[in-house]
Structure 1
Amino acid sequence: MNAGGNAVAEAALDDVFSDDIVVPAADGYPLGATLFLPRGAKRRAVLINSATAVPRKLYRGFAGYLARRGCAVLTYDYRGTGDSRQQSMTGYNQPKSLVGFKADMADWAALDITATVSWMRERYRDLPFAYVGHSFGGQALGLLGNNADIPRALLIAAQAGYWKLMASPERYRVYAQLNGVGLPLTRVLGYMPGWAGLGMDLPKGVLEQWTRWVMSPRYLLDDATLTARENFPKFKGALRALSMTDDPWATRPAVELLCSAFTSITPEIISIRPADAGVEKIGHLGFFRSEHRDTLWRGAAEWIEAES
């Protein structure tokens, strides 16, 4: 389905087509998405799942790179963020204001990510499929009821985000930002405004749940109300988790804690130093900078393309 009836348009990327589309979530909610396709034969399908408060456009370069290598790639925004706050479908008129908007991170996993996995698996049923999860996008892999349908998953800076596992002094900034700024603002305004320093605007339920998890020693793994935790052992595919040594959020212990929940497999955890990529810093978001095309991106693509 094309958003606004837009036709397939060439992206400003060599040998790649891109199409802005709408993908329905499990409850029919319209998700703004972009499908990247190679001009030649499609050899694989890849779904890229975003970090919290990060728009899908951050992944455009990496998605185009994978498409040039023969992958059909989908990026999308979770409900209440980016274009998934502004799209419309019959019966689903989304207000621009997030006041009163009902959504939390568990909804993102159960309704949005689960549906995009199914959409890609159905659309490209004859192609090998890989899941790429950045930060929350990687955390959510374990929450998906259909994660057994995923043969290969690459987690990038995905972690159990307990604040005390973050590097100092960033841990104290995050603690103060969430508890001293984020929660009070959210309760007054009815949503979390992006201008407060956490990225995009976020629905109230997202910020509240995220804060509870960040304050818990095992992050979402401590949430007794989150019944989807029982889905972690269902994932039995190949899993590689990348940990950047200069990432103050997804430190090696935080990545290891998340990976420990995938009890049916032995995840491969790789630490990457900025020097390994010939740069001074990578951090939590830097993997997706185009300067890593011939280093980090190539390594990730080669792993995605490997046989399961």
Structure 2
Amino acid sequence: MLVVQNITKKYGDFLALDSINLEFTNGLYGLLAPNGAGKTTLIKMLTTLIFPTKGEILYNGKNILEMDESYRTLLGYLPQQFGYYKNYSPKQYLLYLAALKGMSKKETLPIIEDLLQKVALSEVANKKMRKFSGGMIQRVGIAQSLLNNPEILILDEPTAGLDPKERARFRQLLSELARDRLVIVSTHIVSDIESIANKVIMIKNQQLLYNESVESICATLNDAVYETSIKYENLESFREQYTILSEKQDKDHMIIRFIHKGTPEPDWTTLNPQLEDVFLYEYRDNEQGEVR
């Protein structure tokens, strides 16, 4: 079990996170918040890249900073941007990283072949990465994070540059991996985690907002999400009164999905809330400074 106890992080006078308490067991957790809300700060503390100003992080009751290398050997980590050698092939790159981890070539080769197949790179295993697209590079990054068969897998914005087909494949891979390990995915893209996360963690105003299932979080907007048709001349006035979730043109009208907590009008249709509705509602006035 990975436990975050009363974690606070400051950069000078700037408060990035304030009194965060979390518990992680095996399964998939989505860390969902807008860019600049402190997701990467929390991820970097979980991976020991930066240290808390206050509080501690424990793995099976031991402080991860005191565990030092024995903790990091349990980790697989994909940062937002990772370093690689453009003139290396994926196979060469993964062999190089495995050697740095003290893994022998003999034991590593079948692991690498399996990983490249999982991320759909088998056909280009020996091609130089300088010719790869951003999505292909990201898949190499996903493979390197799995190289040591980690007990804890932490991925920071892992689907950047992936097309819809690659995203779907990646979600399937994450679901499989989370059966027997802890997986934490930090993202601002709701669709990355909505269908696969056991729990979703949301941070707002430097504090923990939600640490619940998708169903429980969506239930906070039960009987508050509606759809209606608005004439163009009434659109601006409607926008000023309600939190708009989406707008779709329909001939001379606009179909509006919106939030209203109160008595509905007779011509409004009640909709089932989705995770993206909660995200847009909770962060509608988000003006947080950027946190790195």
Q: TM-score by structure 1 length?
A: 0.27
Higher strand proportion (structure 1 or 2): 2
Query: Relative contact order, CA 8 A, sep 6+: which one is greater?
Result: 2
Higher helix proportion (structure 1 or 2): 1
Q: TM-score by structure 2 length?
A: 0.28
